[in-house]
Amino acid sequence: MAKAKNIPVIDCEAAAAEAIRIVLVTRFEEMCALRDHALDWSDPEGVHDMRVSSRRLRSALRDFAPYLHKHGLSATLKKIRKIADTLGDVRDQDVAIIGLRKLETGAPVEAAAMLERLVHAREIVRKRARKDLQQSLNKRPLKQLQTDFVAAMSLATGNSKPPKGGQANVTYRDVARSIIGERLKEVENLSQGLYRPLKMKPLHKMRIAAKRLRYALELFEPGWGAGIREYAKRVAALQASLGELHDSDIWIETLGEHLNGIESQPKNRADAALWLLSHFVKLHSKHLRNSLDRWRDWEVNECGSRLRECLNENLLVAVETVPPAPEKAEAAS
Protein backbone atom coordinates (compact mmCIF):
# COMPACT_ATOMS: atom_id res chain seq x y z
CA MET A 1 0.00 0.00 0.00
CA ALA A 2 1.33 3.43 -0.96
CA LYS A 3 2.32 5.45 2.09
CA ALA A 4 0.88 8.92 2.50
CA LYS A 5 3.32 11.75 1.94
CA ASN A 6 4.36 13.71 5.00
CA ILE A 7 3.65 17.43 4.78
CA PRO A 8 6.54 18.99 6.76
CA VAL A 9 6.00 22.62 5.68
CA ILE A 10 3.01 23.08 7.98
CA ASP A 11 3.34 25.60 10.80
CA CYS A 12 1.05 24.14 13.46
CA GLU A 13 0.90 27.39 15.41
CA ALA A 14 -0.13 29.52 12.40
CA ALA A 15 -3.66 30.19 11.19
CA ALA A 16 -5.26 27.00 9.96
CA ALA A 17 -6.61 28.11 6.56
CA GLU A 18 -3.38 28.02 4.55
CA ALA A 19 -2.27 24.74 6.15
CA ILE A 20 -5.61 23.13 5.33
CA ARG A 21 -5.26 24.21 1.70
CA ILE A 22 -1.75 22.73 1.47
CA VAL A 23 -2.87 19.44 3.01
CA LEU A 24 -5.90 19.00 0.76
CA VAL A 25 -4.09 19.92 -2.45
CA THR A 26 -1.23 17.57 -1.54
CA ARG A 27 -3.61 14.69 -0.82
CA PHE A 28 -5.45 15.31 -4.10
CA GLU A 29 -2.20 15.33 -6.11
CA GLU A 30 -1.14 12.09 -4.41
CA MET A 31 -4.35 10.44 -5.56
CA CYS A 32 -4.04 11.67 -9.16
CA ALA A 33 -0.40 10.57 -9.37
CA LEU A 34 -1.55 6.95 -8.93
CA ARG A 35 -3.80 6.98 -12.03
CA ASP A 36 -1.56 4.92 -14.33
CA HIS A 37 -0.78 2.42 -11.59
CA ALA A 38 -4.50 1.96 -10.91
CA LEU A 39 -5.24 1.24 -14.58
CA ASP A 40 -2.56 -1.46 -14.78
CA TRP A 41 -4.76 -4.55 -14.49
CA SER A 42 -1.72 -6.81 -14.09
CA ASP A 43 -1.25 -5.51 -10.54
CA PRO A 44 -4.39 -5.19 -8.38
CA GLU A 45 -2.40 -3.22 -5.81
CA GLY A 46 -2.57 -0.21 -8.12
CA VAL A 47 -6.32 0.14 -7.65
CA HIS A 48 -5.87 -0.50 -3.94
CA ASP A 49 -3.24 2.24 -3.59
CA MET A 50 -5.32 4.83 -5.43
CA ARG A 51 -8.44 3.84 -3.51
CA VAL A 52 -6.66 4.28 -0.17
CA SER A 53 -5.32 7.62 -1.38
CA SER A 54 -8.86 8.70 -2.30
CA ARG A 55 -10.02 7.65 1.15
CA ARG A 56 -7.33 9.73 2.82
CA LEU A 57 -8.37 12.70 0.71
CA ARG A 58 -12.08 12.32 1.42
CA SER A 59 -11.42 11.76 5.12
CA ALA A 60 -9.41 14.99 5.27
CA LEU A 61 -12.13 16.84 3.35
CA ARG A 62 -14.71 15.60 5.84
CA ASP A 63 -12.51 16.54 8.80
CA PHE A 64 -11.81 20.04 7.50
CA ALA A 65 -15.38 20.72 6.32
CA PRO A 66 -16.25 23.01 9.28
CA TYR A 67 -13.28 25.21 8.37
CA LEU A 68 -14.05 25.53 4.64
CA HIS A 69 -16.29 27.91 2.74
CA LYS A 70 -18.67 25.55 0.93
CA HIS A 71 -19.67 27.79 -1.98
CA GLY A 72 -18.53 26.29 -5.28
CA LEU A 73 -17.24 23.02 -3.79
CA SER A 74 -20.14 20.68 -4.48
CA ALA A 75 -19.41 19.93 -8.17
CA THR A 76 -15.73 19.18 -7.48
CA LEU A 77 -16.50 17.00 -4.47
CA LYS A 78 -19.09 15.07 -6.46
CA LYS A 79 -16.48 14.18 -9.09
CA ILE A 80 -14.02 13.06 -6.42
CA ARG A 81 -16.72 10.88 -4.87
CA LYS A 82 -17.40 9.27 -8.24
CA ILE A 83 -13.72 8.42 -8.68
CA ALA A 84 -13.63 6.93 -5.19
CA ASP A 85 -16.76 4.88 -5.87
CA THR A 86 -15.45 3.44 -9.14
CA LEU A 87 -12.14 2.56 -7.48
CA GLY A 88 -14.09 0.83 -4.72
CA ASP A 89 -16.20 -1.13 -7.21
CA VAL A 90 -13.07 -2.61 -8.82
CA ARG A 91 -11.23 -3.18 -5.55
CA ASP A 92 -14.17 -5.00 -3.95
CA GLN A 93 -14.19 -7.49 -6.82
CA ASP A 94 -10.38 -7.87 -6.74
CA VAL A 95 -10.47 -8.70 -3.04
CA ALA A 96 -13.35 -11.15 -3.44
CA ILE A 97 -11.72 -12.95 -6.37
CA ILE A 98 -8.35 -13.22 -4.60
CA GLY A 99 -10.05 -14.55 -1.47
CA LEU A 100 -12.16 -17.07 -3.36
CA ARG A 101 -9.17 -18.34 -5.34
CA LYS A 102 -7.23 -18.79 -2.11
CA LEU A 103 -10.13 -20.65 -0.53
CA GLU A 104 -10.28 -23.10 -3.45
CA THR A 105 -7.09 -24.73 -2.16
CA GLY A 106 -8.15 -27.49 0.21
CA ALA A 107 -11.87 -27.07 -0.40
CA PRO A 108 -14.03 -30.17 -1.09
CA VAL A 109 -14.74 -30.86 -4.76
CA GLU A 110 -18.31 -29.58 -4.57
CA ALA A 111 -17.25 -26.41 -2.75
CA ALA A 112 -14.42 -25.80 -5.21
CA ALA A 113 -16.89 -25.98 -8.08
CA MET A 114 -19.15 -23.42 -6.40
CA LEU A 115 -16.15 -21.20 -5.70
CA GLU A 116 -15.27 -21.31 -9.40
CA ARG A 117 -18.77 -20.18 -10.30
CA LEU A 118 -18.58 -17.37 -7.76
CA VAL A 119 -15.22 -16.26 -9.16
CA HIS A 120 -16.59 -16.24 -12.69
CA ALA A 121 -19.56 -14.11 -11.63
CA ARG A 122 -17.22 -11.68 -9.88
CA GLU A 123 -14.98 -11.45 -12.93
CA ILE A 124 -17.94 -10.39 -15.06
CA VAL A 125 -18.82 -7.65 -12.56
CA ARG A 126 -15.16 -6.57 -12.35
CA LYS A 127 -14.91 -6.24 -16.11
CA ARG A 128 -17.76 -3.71 -16.10
CA ALA A 129 -16.29 -1.94 -13.07
CA ARG A 130 -12.91 -1.59 -14.78
CA LYS A 131 -14.55 -0.02 -17.81
CA ASP A 132 -16.28 2.50 -15.56
CA LEU A 133 -12.99 3.23 -13.80
CA GLN A 134 -11.23 3.90 -17.10
CA GLN A 135 -13.90 6.45 -17.94
CA SER A 136 -13.64 8.10 -14.52
CA LEU A 137 -9.86 8.39 -14.87
CA ASN A 138 -9.81 9.74 -18.41
CA LYS A 139 -6.73 11.97 -18.61
CA ARG A 140 -8.30 15.16 -19.89
CA PRO A 141 -11.21 15.36 -17.40
CA LEU A 142 -8.86 14.35 -14.57
CA LYS A 143 -6.44 17.13 -15.51
CA GLN A 144 -9.32 19.60 -15.54
CA LEU A 145 -10.47 18.32 -12.16
CA GLN A 146 -6.99 19.01 -10.78
CA THR A 147 -7.19 22.61 -11.96
CA ASP A 148 -10.71 22.99 -10.59
CA PHE A 149 -9.77 21.47 -7.25
CA VAL A 150 -6.83 23.80 -6.67
CA ALA A 151 -9.00 26.80 -7.54
CA ALA A 152 -11.82 25.56 -5.29
CA MET A 153 -9.46 25.08 -2.36
CA SER A 154 -8.09 28.58 -2.77
CA LEU A 155 -11.61 29.98 -2.54
CA ALA A 156 -12.62 27.63 0.29
CA THR A 157 -9.66 28.67 2.48
CA GLY A 158 -8.77 32.13 1.16
CA ASN A 159 -11.49 34.31 2.66
CA SER A 160 -10.43 36.07 5.84
CA LYS A 161 -13.95 35.67 7.21
CA PRO A 162 -14.30 32.30 8.99
CA PRO A 163 -16.89 29.82 7.69
CA LYS A 164 -20.28 29.65 9.38
CA GLY A 165 -19.79 28.07 12.80
CA GLY A 166 -16.00 28.41 12.55
CA GLN A 167 -13.66 30.43 14.73
CA ALA A 168 -11.45 33.30 13.69
CA ASN A 169 -7.67 32.92 14.10
CA VAL A 170 -7.89 29.23 14.93
CA THR A 171 -4.50 27.54 14.59
CA TYR A 172 -3.77 24.34 12.69
CA ARG A 173 -2.90 22.65 15.98
CA ASP A 174 -6.29 23.65 17.41
CA VAL A 175 -7.98 22.15 14.36
CA ALA A 176 -5.92 18.96 14.62
CA ARG A 177 -6.67 18.56 18.32
CA SER A 178 -10.40 19.04 17.74
CA ILE A 179 -10.56 16.58 14.83
CA ILE A 180 -8.63 13.81 16.58
CA GLY A 181 -10.74 14.25 19.69
CA GLU A 182 -13.97 13.99 17.70
CA ARG A 183 -12.79 10.89 15.82
CA LEU A 184 -11.68 9.22 19.05
CA LYS A 185 -15.05 9.90 20.64
CA GLU A 186 -16.82 8.36 17.64
CA VAL A 187 -14.87 5.12 17.99
CA GLU A 188 -15.50 4.96 21.73
CA ASN A 189 -19.24 5.56 21.30
CA LEU A 190 -19.50 2.83 18.66
CA SER A 191 -17.45 0.26 20.60
CA GLN A 192 -20.63 -1.13 22.21
CA GLY A 193 -21.31 -2.79 18.87
CA LEU A 194 -18.57 -5.31 19.69
CA TYR A 195 -20.85 -6.76 22.38
CA ARG A 196 -23.72 -7.21 19.93
CA PRO A 197 -21.83 -9.22 17.29
CA LEU A 198 -24.90 -10.39 15.40
CA LYS A 199 -25.73 -6.81 14.41
CA MET A 200 -23.58 -6.06 11.37
CA LYS A 201 -24.31 -2.35 10.89
CA PRO A 202 -22.90 -1.03 14.23
CA LEU A 203 -19.68 -3.00 13.72
CA HIS A 204 -19.37 -1.64 10.21
CA LYS A 205 -19.80 1.90 11.56
CA MET A 206 -17.10 1.26 14.16
CA ARG A 207 -14.73 0.07 11.44
CA ILE A 208 -15.30 3.25 9.44
CA ALA A 209 -14.85 5.39 12.56
CA ALA A 210 -11.58 3.58 13.38
CA LYS A 211 -10.36 4.19 9.84
CA ARG A 212 -11.12 7.91 10.10
CA LEU A 213 -9.35 8.13 13.46
CA ARG A 214 -6.33 6.38 12.03
CA TYR A 215 -6.18 8.72 9.02
CA ALA A 216 -6.44 11.74 11.32
CA LEU A 217 -3.65 10.46 13.57
CA GLU A 218 -1.41 9.82 10.57
CA LEU A 219 -2.18 13.21 9.04
CA PHE A 220 -1.50 15.20 12.19
CA GLU A 221 1.45 13.16 13.48
CA PRO A 222 3.99 15.91 12.54
CA GLY A 223 2.26 18.24 15.00
CA TRP A 224 3.06 15.98 17.96
CA GLY A 225 5.92 13.89 16.63
CA ALA A 226 6.32 10.14 16.93
CA GLY A 227 4.49 10.20 20.25
CA ILE A 228 1.13 9.48 18.61
CA ARG A 229 2.45 6.97 16.08
CA GLU A 230 1.85 4.03 18.41
CA TYR A 231 -1.80 5.02 18.76
CA ALA A 232 -2.18 5.06 14.97
CA LYS A 233 -0.68 1.55 14.78
CA ARG A 234 -3.12 0.26 17.36
CA VAL A 235 -6.09 1.81 15.60
CA ALA A 236 -4.90 0.37 12.28
CA ALA A 237 -4.79 -3.11 13.83
CA LEU A 238 -8.31 -2.66 15.23
CA GLN A 239 -9.55 -1.40 11.86
CA ALA A 240 -8.03 -4.42 10.12
CA SER A 241 -9.72 -6.90 12.46
CA LEU A 242 -13.05 -5.12 12.08
CA GLY A 243 -12.57 -5.14 8.30
CA GLU A 244 -12.02 -8.91 8.27
CA LEU A 245 -15.07 -9.29 10.48
CA HIS A 246 -17.16 -7.21 8.09
CA ASP A 247 -15.99 -9.27 5.10
CA SER A 248 -17.04 -12.44 6.90
CA ASP A 249 -20.45 -10.92 7.60
CA ILE A 250 -20.92 -10.07 3.92
CA TRP A 251 -20.03 -13.59 2.82
CA ILE A 252 -22.35 -15.13 5.42
CA GLU A 253 -25.17 -12.96 4.13
CA THR A 254 -24.35 -13.82 0.50
CA LEU A 255 -24.16 -17.55 1.11
CA GLY A 256 -27.35 -17.42 3.15
CA GLU A 257 -29.08 -16.14 0.03
CA HIS A 258 -27.65 -19.09 -1.93
CA LEU A 259 -29.11 -21.44 0.66
CA ASN A 260 -32.58 -19.94 0.39
CA GLY A 261 -34.80 -22.75 -0.86
CA ILE A 262 -32.07 -25.32 -0.19
CA GLU A 263 -34.58 -28.20 -0.27
CA SER A 264 -35.05 -27.67 -4.01
CA GLN A 265 -31.33 -27.50 -4.84
CA PRO A 266 -29.15 -30.42 -5.96
CA LYS A 267 -27.48 -32.09 -2.99
CA ASN A 268 -23.94 -31.33 -4.13
CA ARG A 269 -24.69 -27.62 -4.49
CA ALA A 270 -26.41 -27.46 -1.10
CA ASP A 271 -23.48 -29.28 0.54
CA ALA A 272 -21.05 -26.85 -1.05
CA ALA A 273 -22.97 -23.80 0.15
CA LEU A 274 -23.20 -25.24 3.66
CA TRP A 275 -19.44 -25.92 3.73
CA LEU A 276 -18.69 -22.36 2.66
CA LEU A 277 -21.18 -20.91 5.13
CA SER A 278 -19.59 -22.91 7.95
CA HIS A 279 -16.15 -21.67 6.89
CA PHE A 280 -17.13 -18.02 7.07
CA VAL A 281 -19.00 -18.47 10.37
CA LYS A 282 -15.73 -19.77 11.84
CA LEU A 283 -13.87 -16.80 10.38
CA HIS A 284 -16.47 -14.48 11.87
CA SER A 285 -15.79 -15.88 15.34
CA LYS A 286 -12.02 -15.58 14.85
CA HIS A 287 -12.12 -11.95 13.70
CA LEU A 288 -14.65 -10.99 16.38
CA ARG A 289 -12.29 -12.39 19.00
CA ASN A 290 -9.40 -10.43 17.48
CA SER A 291 -11.43 -7.23 17.44
CA LEU A 292 -12.51 -7.70 21.05
CA ASP A 293 -8.91 -8.40 22.11
CA ARG A 294 -7.61 -5.29 20.38
CA TRP A 295 -10.28 -3.06 21.89
CA ARG A 296 -9.77 -4.59 25.34
CA ASP A 297 -6.04 -3.94 25.00
CA TRP A 298 -6.78 -0.31 24.07
CA GLU A 299 -8.97 0.14 27.15
CA VAL A 300 -6.70 -1.71 29.61
CA ASN A 301 -3.76 0.47 28.59
CA GLU A 302 -5.93 3.61 28.82
CA CYS A 303 -4.91 4.61 25.32
CA GLY A 304 -7.81 7.01 24.93
CA SER A 305 -6.86 8.96 28.06
CA ARG A 306 -3.17 8.94 27.13
CA LEU A 307 -3.92 10.22 23.66
CA ARG A 308 -6.11 13.03 25.01
CA GLU A 309 -3.37 13.99 27.45
CA CYS A 310 -0.91 14.17 24.59
CA LEU A 311 -3.25 16.37 22.56
CA ASN A 312 -4.38 18.67 25.36
CA GLU A 313 -0.97 19.35 26.82
CA ASN A 314 0.94 19.53 23.51
CA LEU A 315 3.33 16.97 24.96
CA LEU A 316 5.24 14.33 23.08
CA VAL A 317 4.22 11.14 24.86
CA ALA A 318 7.23 8.89 24.57
CA VAL A 319 6.47 5.68 22.73
CA GLU A 320 7.93 3.56 25.53
CA THR A 321 5.27 4.86 27.96
CA VAL A 322 2.57 3.29 25.82
CA PRO A 323 2.68 -0.53 25.80
CA PRO A 324 3.25 -1.77 22.23
CA ALA A 325 0.36 -3.02 20.18
CA PRO A 326 -0.23 -6.79 20.06
CA GLU A 327 1.79 -8.80 17.56
CA LYS A 328 0.50 -10.01 14.18
CA ALA A 329 -1.41 -6.87 13.34
CA GLU A 330 -3.07 -7.24 9.93
CA ALA A 331 -2.63 -4.58 7.26
CA ALA A 332 -5.42 -2.01 7.13
CA SER A 333 -6.41 0.12 4.20
What pLDDT, in 10s, does the model give residues 271-318?
888 888 899 999 999 999 999 999 999 999 999 999 999 888 654 333
Closest CA to 37 of 95, 80, 90, 93: 90
Q: What is the mean pLDDT of residues 316-325?
A: 42
CA 247 to each of CA 113, 227, 253, 265, 311: distance values in angstroms, whole numbers, following the listed order: 21, 32, 10, 26, 34
* Residue 171 DSSP code: B
**What is the per-residue pLDDT for 271?**
82
Alpha-carbon span 329 to 221, nearest angstrom: 20
Does residue 172 contact residue 14 with C-beta atoms inside 8 Å?
yes
The 10s digit of each residue's pLDDT in 126-158 is: 999 999 999 999 999 999 999 999 999 999 988
Using CA atoms of 47, 290, 325, 236 in order, give the dihedral in degrees to the nearest 10: 30
Alpha-carbon span 276 to 112, nearest angstrom: 10
Q: Where are the alpha helices (DSSP H) in 109-171?
A: 109-136, 139-158
Alpha-carbon span 296 to 292, nearest angstrom: 6
Alpha-carbon span 298 to 252, nearest angstrom: 28
Using CA atoms of 43, 242, 275, 108 in order, give the dihedral in degrees to the nearest 10: 30
**What is the per-residue pLDDT for 164?**
56
* Residue 330 DSSP code: P
**What is the per-residue pLDDT for 2?**
64
Closest CA to 60 of 32, 89, 98, 22: 22
Alpha-carbon span 186 to 163, nearest angstrom: 24
In the chain, the domains with their CATH numbers are: 13-157 (1.40.20.10), 170-324 (1.20.1420)
